[in-house]
Amino acid sequence: MNFYTVNGSPNCRKVHAVINYLGLDTNIIELDMMKGDLEKPEFKAMNPNGMVPILEDGDLKLWESNAITQYLASLAPANSLYPDDPRVRADIHRWQNWEECHFNRACGGFLFENVLKSLFKIGQPDPAVLKEAEQNFNRFAAILEDQLEGRDFILGKDLTLADFSVGAMMVYADAAGIPVSPFKNISGWKKRMESISAWAEVPALPA
């Protein structure tokens, strides 16, 4: 299998962490967005969106990070990341969808304004966008904070794909100024995630 990734991408991080955690035999191929790799015809043929992550498993060319994590975890022998129980899987899918629709977007405003703009030299952070991002973040972080009350991980005592998906943006919390610290349960969970080597070993933002 080939996994095409870009260092510093939160969506690639989810997939990379699953590969590390389950010890899957995968070639990890780093692409360079700045050199236009994602626009090359061979990658566009695998993902017409021109985005990563992409997983290539023979004739299967799979894109969308959360779908890739589900596929990879289904290939491995029974594992706690993605238990073979329809109710647990539905719960994991619920949190992965919530992450993509709400939490990722809420955090993404901070990442773009406070990190990516300076990295790509495309201007100063916009205070109005940051204010809206803060309102959005507080709204959705409150949901996660409640869910983590009395739980080590999102579903309970075990780490699952939900943690890798929802946690992906938390890696940039300090650099992006995402206001996590008032949320005690999220802060504790973030620290627990950082102590998982499969997670910590994924490269963070490019230097």
Ligand X SMILES: N[C@@H](CCC(=O)N[C@@H](CS)C(=O)NCC(=O)O)C(=O)O
52 touching ligand X, by CB under 6 A: yes
Q: Is 109 in the site for ligand X (CB under 6 A)?
A: no
Please pick, from the candidates 37, 56, 57, 64, the single residue that binds ligand X as defined by CB under 6 A: 64
Of 46-54, 79-87, 139-147, 155-163, which part binds ligand X (CB under 6 A)? 46-54
The enclosing H or E element of 76 equals none
Residue 97: CB atoms within 10 A of its CB come to 12
- With CB atoms as reference, the residue minimizing the distance to ligand X is 51
Please classify residue 15 by burial: count the beta carbons closer than 10 Å to its beta carbon, then call 0-12 exposed, 13-18 middle and 19+ buried: buried
171 sits in the region (left: phi over 0; alpha: psi -120 to 50; else beta) called alpha
51 binds ligand X, rule: CB under 6 A = yes
Q: Contact with ligand X (CB under 6 A): which of 3, 4, 5, 11?
A: 11
| Cα 23 from chain centre | 18
State yes or no: residue 10 binds ligand X (CB under 6 A): yes
Nearest CB to ligand X, comparing residues 38 and 180 = 38
Answer yes or no: are the C-beta atoms of 167 and 190 closer than 8 Å. Answer: yes
CB of 141 to ligand X, least distance (A): 20
- Shortest distance (Å) from residue 63 CB to ligand X: 6
Q: Which is nearer to ligand X, 116 or 138 (CB)?
A: 116
Tokens read off for 146 = 């409640």
5 binds ligand X (CB under 6 A): no
- 53 near ligand X (CB under 6 A): yes
Among 38, 81, 155, 173, binds ligand X (CB under 6 A): 38
Interacting residues with ligand X (CB under 6 A): 6, 9-11, 33, 38, 50-53, 64-65
